[in-house]
Structure 1
Amino acid sequence: MADVIELRDVRVSFHERGTVVDAVRGVSLSVRKGEVFGIVGFSGAGKSTLVRTINLLERPTSGRVLIDGEDVTDVRGAGLRALRRRIGFVFQGFNLVGNLTVARNIQFALKAGGRDRKDWSRRTHDLLRLVGLDEKFDSYPSGLSGGQKQRVAIARALANDPEILLCDEATSALDLETTEEILGLLKRINRTLGITIVFITHQLDVAKRIFDHVAVMEHGVIVEQGDTFDVFSQPAHPTTQALVNRYLGISIPPQLVPSLPEGTVVELRYRGEGALEPLISEVARRFDVSINVLHARVEYFGSHAIGILIVVVDGPGNSLTAALDELRAHVLGYRELDRGDLARVGDMGDIDRGGRAGNGGRAGEGMDDVASTEEDES
């Protein structure tokens, strides 16, 4: 499948209080036509700045931006306006005009795009029907819920039939149920209209539901990228590991540690269908050991599973050693946890630093909230 977006060694620098801030430092990536591509990272990683180079709301200090193979880095005037008609933008804060009706908000974009006025009403109804708000044609933004406002913002972003839709933290201001609805809508738009979506988020819940490919940013650079399931099931960089640990991490309340069964406390991580296999019961039977499951969790990225278990394994010395070796050999991540550390903290991020890591052990901290700026370029 052809690349619709290509960034080549893109750098963006700002002058701030007499110093130069490198917000984006030599980023190269490609987005395939028709896919949902995600960019995730800590606050200040440069995600918003990077995505704004795609439609030149932020001009690269150096490097090149290509859309459908055409170098657009230096386009201005009429060429820039034509480019932005091809690229819709959905903001975190909706950016609706409060004193205009829902219909007029959308028609504002139609006017800016040079659409024939005779088509405005029909096009507006079509767009509102697409996002499930046809009855809100004459409503004002003040009378809408957050999810409805974001649906209007999506309809407005689609007004001029863009081939690319940029979403900057488009669900972070919404509750969980509404986020699910908006993600479902975006996925349906992606599939039915074939629009390429580039989505910024710090929420792994968003990533696992709709991203085909993902890039992880830190300090203005891409530290890891690839297929979403592959990246998050086997994170190689500490930033990606931190995101996964925050999302998948499960912990034992410290007050329960004294009452745990005797034995070795182990965290096990599985990938793919291995998360569903009866490994625990098989190992217990073969090596005559007891295995008590303390916590378990399975999350699906599309149809692929990532699972995590915390278990206590106990038995005679040689049998125990053999059982632990067997578990280690058949899981993605194996880590023995120290009871002293478990008793002192209840957060798996801290346990990561205190537990004894076997092969596949992960360490990291939680993700910060991300605040996106909403700015434009004339």
Structure 2
Amino acid sequence: MSVIELKDVSVTFHEGRQNIAAVSHVDLTVEPGEIYGIVGFSGAGKSTLVRTINLLERPTGGRVLFDGKDITDAKGAELRALRKRVGFVFQGFNLISNVTVGKNIEFALKAGGWPRDGWDARVRELLALVGLESKAESYPASLSGGQRQRVSIARALANKPEVLLCDEATSALDVETTEGILTLLRRINRELGITIVFITHQLDVAKQLFDRVAVMENGRIVEQGDTFTVFSDPRHPTTRALAERYLGIAIPPQLTPSLPAGRIVELRYKGRDALTPLISEVVRRYGVSVNVLHANVEYFGSQAIGTLIVQVGEAAGPDGHGANAGGDLSVARALDDLKSHVYGFHEIDRDALDQPPFGESLVVADAE
């Protein structure tokens, strides 16, 4: 049974005479123990959607189910009980500035009905979990951004929730601090078995953290599935745009004036193909030269997505001229071979080297 299920959920805001559809007819399921991501550009509706899960935002249409039970209309004691089962981590930390770290966590314990005589032990346990054992008497203003987010996570875990909702929990942090928060969340998920729903516009977060992902645009989910599949083979323009911001590469401009003759192509490969010695095999088989101009490999979990820009030309003989009488034919055959072994193949026009090389003009190699 899914721990969270959204059925045809919509949220409409009324501003004056206008109706604004922040979320439109969303269907989504989150399985127990997984880390589920919701990604999209600013204004896509991600924050509104995630707040429907614990009814911080009431749907204006559709139903919200938690452990198979319809909670859409929950109120009073039922709603309070639900929110004890769902922790929330905010982008801006949302800590009370004029009380200590320990007191911030105690407020959550008090709200959740935790026995008063167990507060001290629980605060110590939570601060140890997030690596802030010595900060119980510190005030939020004295902490770094990463430390404040760790306190926010500790507070969200105070009442032992089953689900942790994270609303852009790393977007205010630097890269190194973000890495630490993601490591902490993975450990919480693994060791405590807590299901995590995380929204972000940062694909770097998605590729490190998410088991499955949904892509949002204009309040709708336009694509969803396991993270590697969604971003290695994006179908919707929004997903492609997100992927290209992270995976796309270009020839460094300082190289372009000195490029010798030859055809320039961008190759994209994934999974096991990323580990195949493709270039050396093509050089040996067709007697061509292949110069690697730029390359990038990113891992989504244990699976790789690689992007490679190469220049393929006729191999030079001892006199500096072409060594192969059928040079052009060999180059064409080499390119056909490369194309048959990758899922993305795009020949770059030399006159357009200052343009993004891998966007909507992507030609996907036929799968054989």
TM-score using structure 2 length: 0.94
Deviating beyond 3 angstroms after TM superposition, the runs of 4 or more aligned structure 1 residues are none
Question: What residue is the counterpart of 1:369 in the other structure?
Answer: none
Question: What residue is the counterpart of 2:364 in the other structure?
Answer: 359
Structure 1 residue 357: deviation in Å? Answer: 4.0
Is 1:105 the counterpart of 2:104 in the alignment?
Answer: yes
Higher relative contact order (CA 8 A, sep 6+): 1
Is 1:320 the counterpart of 2:339 in the alignment?
Answer: no
Structure 1 residue 358: deviation in Å? Answer: 2.8
The answer on whether the counterparts of 2:44 and 2:217 sit within 8 Å (CA) in structure 1 is yes
3-state SS of paired residue (2:172): coil
How many angstroms apart in 1 are the aligned matches of 2:312 and 2:15? 56
3-state SS of paired residue (2:3): strand
Matches within 5 A, 1:39-118: 39-118=38-117
3-state SS of paired residue (2:260): coil
Structure 1 residue 254: deviation in Å? Answer: 3.2
Question: What residue is the counterpart of 1:15 in the other structure?
Answer: 14
Structure 1 residue 360: deviation in Å? Answer: 5.0
Matches within 5 A, 1:211-230: 211-230=210-229
Question: What residue is the counterpart of 2:323 in the other structure?
Answer: none
Question: What residue is the counterpart of 2:280 in the other structure?
Answer: 281
How many angstroms apart in 1 are the aligned matches of 2:362 and 2:222? 23
The answer on whether the counterparts of 1:264 and 1:313 sit within 8 Å (CA) in structure 2 is yes
Structure 1 residue 261: deviation in Å? Answer: 2.1
Structure 1 residue 359: deviation in Å? Answer: 2.2
- CA offsets 1:134-187 (integer angstroms, 9 cap, x no match): 110111101101010000000000001100000000001001111000000000
Residue type of the alignment partner of 2:330: S
Change (3 A) 1:215 1:357: closer
Residue type of the alignment partner of 2:32: K
Q: In angstroms, what is the RMSD of aligned CA positions?
A: 1.3
Matches within 5 A, 1:194-233: 194-233=193-232
Give unmatched runs, 5+ long, in structure 2: 315-326
Question: What residue is the counterpart of 2:342 in the other structure?
Answer: 331
The answer on whether the counterparts of 1:336 and 1:357 sit within 8 Å (CA) in structure 2 is no
The answer on whether the counterparts of 2:210 and 2:227 sit within 8 Å (CA) in structure 1 is yes
Residue type of the alignment partner of 1:224: E
The answer on whether the counterparts of 1:209 and 1:301 sit within 8 Å (CA) in structure 2 is yes
- State the number of aligned residues: 354
Percent of paired sites with the same residue:
67
Question: What residue is the counterpart of 1:368 in the other structure?
Answer: none
Structure 1 residue 210: deviation in Å? Answer: 1.1
- CA offsets 1:325-372 (integer angstroms, 9 cap, x no match): 111110010000111010x44x44xx636xx643259xxxxxxxxxxx
Residue type of the alignment partner of 1:358: V
Give unmatched runs, 5+ long, in structure 1: 362-378
Residue type of the alignment partner of 2:36: F
How many angstroms apart in 2 are the aligned matches of 1:200 and 1:299? 21
Which deviates further from its counterpart, 312-321 or 63-72? 312-321
The answer on whether the counterparts of 1:217 and 1:223 sit within 8 Å (CA) in structure 2 is yes
3-state SS of paired residue (2:255): helix
Residue type of the alignment partner of 1:352: G
Question: What residue is the counterpart of 1:247 in the other structure?
Answer: 246
TM-score using structure 1 length: 0.92
Which deviates further from its counterpart, 249-258 or 76-85? 249-258
Question: What residue is the counterpart of 1:130 in the other structure?
Answer: 129
3-state SS of paired residue (1:352): coil
3-state SS of paired residue (1:328): helix
Which deviates further from its counterpart, 281-290 or 189-198? 281-290
The answer on whether the counterparts of 1:11 and 1:61 sit within 8 Å (CA) in structure 2 is yes
Which deviates further from its counterpart, 249-258 or 176-185? 249-258
Residue type of the alignment partner of 2:337: E
Question: What residue is the counterpart of 2:293 in the other structure?
Answer: 294
How many angstroms apart in 2 are the aligned matches of 1:35 and 1:113? 25
Question: What residue is the counterpart of 1:364 in the other structure?
Answer: none
Question: What residue is the counterpart of 1:149 in the other structure?
Answer: 148
